[in-house]
Amino acid sequence: MIRPLAGSFATVIPAISQWQIGPVHVPVHGLFVGLGVLAAVLVFVHEARRRGAVNEQSLVAVTGALVGGAIGMRLSGLTRHLDFSANPTVSQAWEYGSKSILGGLFGAYVGVLIAKRLGGYRGKTGDLFAPAVALGMAIGRIGCLLTEAPGRPTTLPWGIHAPASTPECPGCVAGLAMHPSFLYEIGFQLAAFAVLMWLRPRITHPGELFVIYVAAYAVFRFFVEFVRANETVWLDLTRPQWVLLPSLALLGFRVWRGYCRGYYRISSADREGDHVPAAR
Amino acid sequence: MSQQPGEPPEDQPAHGVPPGQYPQYPQYPQYPQHPQYAQYGYPPPNPKAISGGGVVCGVILFPVLNVGVGFLTVMLADQQKVLLAFGAALLALLAFGGGYALWKTGNPGSKGLGLGLMIGWALTSILTVGYCTGLNPAMYT
């Protein structure tokens, strides 16, 4: 899949949009997104069973997350430009949505809130989602690594090359080595998954695992955007970074408030035992 | 004060003997009577119960409906792209209109089926990049 480039330490990632398995053409990006969703569902179900939360509320939350995520990733193009007149209409964004991860996450969050409101539920379900989303995104990003522009040019020894046919990739056309930004993100998501699994018996305040994960991802995503191949729009920052700036302020306030209230205090009993906090 | 091996200590009752000094276990409180089933004395049905099998059926049923509606609209549409959009709207209506109506019935199987239809729409949209549910712009070009 990833082969060394002759005469250098850099590696080449073949940007293949489809794999042919017999007579069937399988879209690579869609395949890994599907595998990521499948992994996330399995982790969610396992976590729900562990916490004794296999119930209608969890199902309603999953439904809201999937539907909201599917819609959110398409409608994220609505906020493409600061000049609102330059943005697409709702119908244009719907038809030509950018399939943004940030849009999908935001849509999923809103979808869960709406679904729980419709069902009359008030319990927290975010802790069930946190490790599931981390693992699902780690797998889904493999599809991005194999099909999209890997990152900005670099002279670091682990820079990678991609074919000139890779869409929206000037560095690929110039034959430059680039940051493997999706590998950075896969590493982050796997580390986040491991940390969340370690934290789940220790941080027992409902919903805080999800807050920690989202805050950590927002910080990571803001910094990894400096090596992503996304277009900069103002002050050398990309669109996701401009979206993340106010989000980081809100999340920072939320984490600080949780810290002050002792939500992240790990008690000795929680350290020693395999305490299973119940999802509310 | 000799004690044979296997016998309980003197300050504890022998096996099978009810400890008289222990307080009586409180009786279970009576379940509130459901007006519909009051004459039977049964506890009320659990309004939060949902059938996992119904969810699975809904998730499987939606792609089947999708194939049917998809083929029908593509065959009828030919060059009329508005029919493709109609097909996409019909699929969304089946998933969300039908799904919501089933969810609100109160029957565990129907509730599961309703949520399953909505999950099926979302999974089909994500996994086929919007082709099958008519979200992808390639459907309209």
Q: What is the pLDDT of residues A5-59, one digit of tens each?
A: 444 445 767 667 777 777 777 788 878 888 998 899 899 999 999 988 888 889 8
Q: Contact, B117 vs B61, CB < 8 A?
A: yes
Report residue B123 as tokens: 């999974």
Say yes or no: B82 contacts chain A, CB-CB below 8 A: no
**Interatomic CA distance for residues A185 and A172, integer angstroms:** 20
Q: Which residue ranges make up each domain of chain B?
A: 52-140
Write down the ipTM of this complex.
0.75
Q: Is A273 left (phi over 0), alpha (psi -120 to 50) or beta?
A: beta
Among A122-126, A220-224, B84-88, the range scoring the smallest mean pLDDT is: B84-88
DSSP B84-111: HHHHHHHHHIIIIIIHHHHHTT--HHHH
- What confidence category does residue A243 fall into, taking pLDDT thresholds of 50, 70 and 90? confident
pLDDT value for A267: 60
SS3 of A4, please? strand
pLDDT value for A271: 53
What is the mean pLDDT of the segment spanning B39-44? 53
Report residue A231 as tokens: 């277009």
- Whether B18 shows a pLDDT value over 60: the answer reads no
Helix (H) or strand (E) holding A24: strand A24-27
Task: Find how far residue B110's CA is from the centre of its chain.
Answer: 8
Mean pLDDT of chain B: 72
- Which residue of chain B comes nearest to A92, CA vs CA? B137
Top pLDDT among B124 and A195 is at A195
Report residue B82 as tokens: 């508005």
pLDDT value for A75: 75
- What confidence category does residue B73 fall into, taking pLDDT thresholds of 50, 70 and 90? confident
SS3 of A153, please? strand
Report residue A166 as tokens: 């890779």
Cβ <8 Å between B127 and A30: yes
Nearest Cβ partner for A67 among B111, B118, B127: B118
Task: Find how far residue B57's CA is from the centre of its chain.
Answer: 10
> How far A218 CA sits from the closest chain B CA (Å)?
23
- Whether B99 shows a pLDDT value over 60: the answer reads yes
Angle between the B108-127 and A56-75 helix axes, to the nearest 10 degrees?
30
pLDDT value for A251: 95
Angle between the B108-127 and A28-50 helix axes, to the nearest 10 degrees?
150
pLDDT value for A52: 87
3-state secondary structure A70-117: HHHHHHHHHHCCCCHHHCCCHHHHHHCCCCCHHHHHHHHHHHHHHHHH
- Whether B33 shows a pLDDT value over 90: the answer reads no
> How far A279 CA sits from the closest chain B CA (Å)?
16
Cβ <8 Å between B135 and A59: no
Among A68-72, A226-230, A264-268, name the most confident range: A226-230
Q: Show Cβ contacts of residue B131 under 8 Å, excluding neighbours closer than 6 positions.
A: B138, B139
Which of A54, A43, A45 lies closest to A196 in space, CA to CA? A43
**CA R_g for chain A:** 20
Cβ <8 Å between B122 and A34: no
Dihedrals phi, psi of A271, to nearest 5 degrees: -65, -40
**Interatomic CA distance for residues A25 and A42, integer angstroms:** 26
pLDDT value for B36: 53
What sign does the dihedral B45-B46-B50-B53 (CA atoms) show? Answer: negative
Taking CB atoms and an 8 Å cut-off, how many pairs form between chains A and B? 59
- Whether B116 shows a pLDDT value over 60: the answer reads yes
pLDDT > 70 in chain A, percent: 81
Task: With beta carbons under 8 A apart, name residues in chain B contacting A27.
Answer: 129
- What confidence category does residue B58 fall into, taking pLDDT thresholds of 50, 70 and 90? very high
Cβ <8 Å between B129 and A99: yes
Which of A25, A143, A24 lies closest to B126 in space, CA to CA? A143
Name residues 2-41 of chain A within 8 A of B (Cβ): 27, 29-30, 33-34, 37
**Interatomic CA distance for residues A236 and A225, integer angstroms:** 11
Say yes or no: B62 contacts chain A, CB-CB below 8 A: no
pLDDT value for B24: 58
